[in-house]
Structure 1
Amino acid sequence: MHYKWIASQAELPAISEKLKQSASHALDTEFIKIDTLYPKLGVLQINVDEQVYLVDGNLDLSILWQAIFEAKQNIFHACGEDVDLIYHYAQQKPLTNIFDTQVAMAYLGYGMQIGYQPAVETILNIQVEKDQTRSDWLARPLTQEQAQYAANDVLYLQQLADHLIDDLKDKNLYKYVLEDCQNYCQSLAQNYSPEDAYLDMANFRHSSKQLTQLKQLMTWREELALRENKPRSYILKNGTIQKILERHPKTLHQLASQYEIRSSVLREHGKHILSLINDLPDQSTWLKRLPRPCRYQLKETSVAIEQLLQNVSQELSVPMDILVRKKWMTQLQVFATQDQSNLDQLNPYLLGWRLECVTKPILALIAQDMEAQPQSV
């Protein structure tokens, strides 16, 4: 195993220039995010020009973050947490130059969330150890096992990407993968105000009262998480919030005995949580219910949509679960009941390459269904 440990600020400019000049390079991060909202970087791994660097996260990496944004192509596997970390440390977003090998594997039919270890073994026939996942990456010095583990995570990543890119280009899918990677990084870059945090959980089944309670609870949780740098789930889990909306607890005893809430959170914030769900503003100011997805009038409609997706899947050699996810279909069913003049309201994934072959045909089938007479019972 050949890698270079970088613990000197003076070594960063040369690595930065390599990142800017390379056609592509492999990246990964090791961090700790157990009891904080924001990750604490331990190691930034880089494989560029066939040299693996393990960069100490204690350094000021501003020059490397900027190089990553300016690079021709950054290769990751399952980039979500890495990109979130980069946005946090770089204080810049979005990245538009990511190739994610996990996304590529999904397009090629290997499953939606295949890990790095099975991906390398499947494509390259190389076994990689994954026994240091829960290591303390902030400890210094790193053990030899930690360093080898961190280096392995980028050692084969460029080679993996090269194989996948060749396969994608053979099937004319490479540009689709790049587009999905860009959309994903854009979604991670969206800035939501604490007042909009409730939209992540809100759905048409919530009553006006529940939506108002949900907004008050999640606005408070978001503000507290940001202020104290605590994980949202550490304060209140989403499942706990949903139970609160359904059961309407009135007392601290009920909160303590019927819900999974940390004792420290109960002590400090229990009374406030009760006030957020029980002391509501005037009913005239409650949030309106979210629109309900349309219900098909004809049994044939869902069959026609399924057949459409099968045809597109076969024609483009794209797996069915890549074409349209369940939440996108729900959005289309809501969008079909409203003014459709502004397609930009749709999820970006439904635009781009999917617009003509998937999005518009599905909307047309739903519109045709909505014009039909309801079936007699």
Structure 2
Amino acid sequence: MYYQWVDQQTQLSHLVEQINCSALNALDTEFIKVDTLYPKLGVLQININDQVYLIDGHLDLADLWQKLFQARLNIFHACGEDIDLIYHYAQHAPLNNVLDTQIALAFLGYGMQMGYQAALAEILNVDVEKDQTRSDWLARPLSEEQIRYAVSDVYYLPQLAENVIQRLKQQGIYHFVVEDCQHYCQSLAEKLPLDQLYLDAANYRHSSRQLMQLQQLAMWREQLAIDTNQPRSFILKNNTIHRMLERTPHTMQQLFELGEVKPAILREHGKHILKLLNELPDQKQWPKRLAKPYRYYLDETTHKIQQLLTVISQQYGIPTDVLLRKKWLQQLQSFVLNERQDLSTLNIYLTGWRLNLLTLPLIEILAQDIAARRSNISC
């Protein structure tokens, strides 16, 4: 597996030019993100026209990042962390030219989280080692094991992509996968406003007061994580926050007795945490309690939903868990229950190729169930 090590700024211009002429680029990144909020790039791997480049993350890659947004097609496997890193370094988003082979393989029935090593073994009958994932990618020089690992991550990726693309096109669902990859990259670019971050940890069991406490703690933690470049869990873990909501400590001693707050955080921020828990704004400003999960009124509703999914799955050969995820269905339930009309407010996955095929029929089924419930209540 021949590769070229790129550690000089002058080498990048030729590489960037090649991206212009390439039908696809296979990419991966190796980084360190142990004690920071933002990743530290160690190596960027890219395969352009069967030439593998290992690019030193210490270089200024601004031109290369921007070129990736203009490329014809960027191939990744399990791209989430890679895309997050590119957005961070490029300070630009979203990427609309990505094909993730992990997402593609999910459409082909290989499960939602098939790893790269397993994919190569299953699809290409190639065995690669994955034993350097947690090694120090900032150290120089790289070891032979690290180099072999880094090269293999993109050496076979074009072959894997070509195989799954051909199968997806034969099945007539390639454009479905491309759209889902675009939606995924778009979702990675979307950041909740500070005052809505609490929703990621909130549930319907929380009282309005607890939601206010959670909102204040989540906003404070996020801002501190950004300012100090620390992982959120280094400041307060979610489980610790939930314990605070349950007990609402009023004194430093009570906060200490939780046993879950790091001594440094307790010393520097303990009093402020107590203030966030106990000094709340006017009750009129507290968030409303979240709705309980909707329970179907009609016995046949679940059957109708499953039947719809089965028919579409058999027609297109797409697994039902790829067609519809539980959280999307819950969002649809809320949409119909609250009598919303603007389909553009739905999750982006539900407004593309799924809209006529799945979303609108589901809305009709849910509307029938909700109408039956309301009719019974009125009687």
Question: Which interval holds the TM-score relative to the shorter structure?
Answer: over 0.9
CA contact (8 A) 1:293 1:334 kept: no
SS across alignment from 1:41:
strand
Root mean square deviation, CA, Å: 1.4
Does residue 62 of structure 2 align to residue 62 of structure 1?
yes
**Percent of aligned positions with the same letter in both sequences?**
58
Alignment of 1:269-284 (within 5 A): 269-284=269-284
Offset of residue 315 of structure 1: 1.2
SS across alignment from 2:96:
coil
Question: Aligned equivalents of 2:205 and 2:318: distance in 1?
Answer: 33
Offset of residue 314 of structure 1: 1.0
Offset of residue 261 of structure 1: 2.5
Counterpart of 2:29 in structure 1 is 29
SS across alignment from 1:133:
coil
Residues 292-332 of structure 1: CA distance to partner in whole angstroms, max 9, x if unpaired? Answer: 44332111111211111111111111101001111111111
Amino acid at match of 1:220: W
Residues 9-63 of structure 1: CA distance to partner in whole angstroms, max 9, x if unpaired? Answer: 1110111111121111100000000000000000000101111000000000011
Does residue 295 of structure 2 align to residue 323 of structure 1?
no
Counterpart of 2:340 in structure 1 is 340
Residues 251-282 of structure 1: CA distance to partner in whole angstroms, max 9, x if unpaired? Answer: 33343343533222122112221221122122
Larger mean CA deviation between 280-289 and 118-127 belongs to 280-289
Does residue 160 of structure 2 align to residue 163 of structure 1?
no
Question: Aligned equivalents of 1:163 and 1:253: distance in 2?
Answer: 61
Residues 192-225 of structure 1: CA distance to partner in whole angstroms, max 9, x if unpaired? Answer: 3322221222333322111111110000001101
TM-score by length of 2: 0.96
Larger mean CA deviation between 33-42 and 339-348 belongs to 339-348
Question: Aligned equivalents of 2:367 and 2:192: distance in 1?
Answer: 32
> Is there any run of 5+ residues in structure 1 with no aligned partner, and where?
none
Larger mean CA deviation between 298-307 and 115-124 belongs to 298-307
Does residue 150 of structure 2 align to residue 150 of structure 1?
yes
Counterpart of 1:49 in structure 2 is 49
Counterpart of 1:110 in structure 2 is 110
Does residue 267 of structure 2 align to residue 235 of structure 1?
no
Does residue 356 of structure 2 align to residue 356 of structure 1?
yes
SS across alignment from 1:336:
helix
CA contact (8 A) 1:4 1:53 kept: yes
Offset of residue 190 of structure 1: 1.2
Alignment of 1:63-102 (within 5 A): 63-102=63-102
Counterpart of 1:253 in structure 2 is 253
Offset of residue 333 of structure 1: 1.0
Question: Aligned equivalents of 2:114 and 2:252: distance in 1?
Answer: 43
Amino acid at match of 1:304: K
Residues 151-210 of structure 1: CA distance to partner in whole angstroms, max 9, x if unpaired? Answer: 110010111001010111111111111111100110111133322221222333322111
Question: Aligned equivalents of 2:322 and 2:305: distance in 1?
Answer: 15
Offset of residue 345 of structure 1: 1.1
Question: Aligned equivalents of 2:262 and 2:167: distance in 1?
Answer: 49
Counterpart of 2:266 in structure 1 is 266
SS across alignment from 2:337:
coil
Offset of residue 135 of structure 1: 0.8
CA contact (8 A) 1:26 1:154 kept: yes
CA contact (8 A) 1:31 1:40 kept: yes
Larger mean CA deviation between 352-361 and 290-299 belongs to 290-299
Question: Aligned equivalents of 1:243 and 1:304: distance in 2?
Answer: 40
SS across alignment from 2:119:
helix
Alignment of 1:163-312 (within 5 A): 163-312=163-312
SS across alignment from 2:300:
helix
Question: Aligned equivalents of 1:255 and 1:304: distance in 2?
Answer: 50
Question: Aligned equivalents of 2:253 and 2:174: distance in 1?
Answer: 56
SS across alignment from 2:303:
helix
CA contact (8 A) 1:217 1:273 kept: yes
SS across alignment from 2:53:
strand
Larger mean CA deviation between 302-311 and 154-163 belongs to 302-311
Question: Aligned equivalents of 2:254 and 2:19: distance in 1?
Answer: 56
Amino acid at match of 2:249: P
Offset of residue 64 of structure 1: 0.8
SS across alignment from 1:128:
coil
Question: Aligned equivalents of 1:260 and 1:363: distance in 2?
Answer: 44
> Is there any run of 5+ residues in structure 2 with no aligned partner, and where?
none
Alignment size in residue pairs = 375
Larger mean CA deviation between 247-256 and 48-57 belongs to 247-256
Offset of residue 374 of structure 1: 4.2
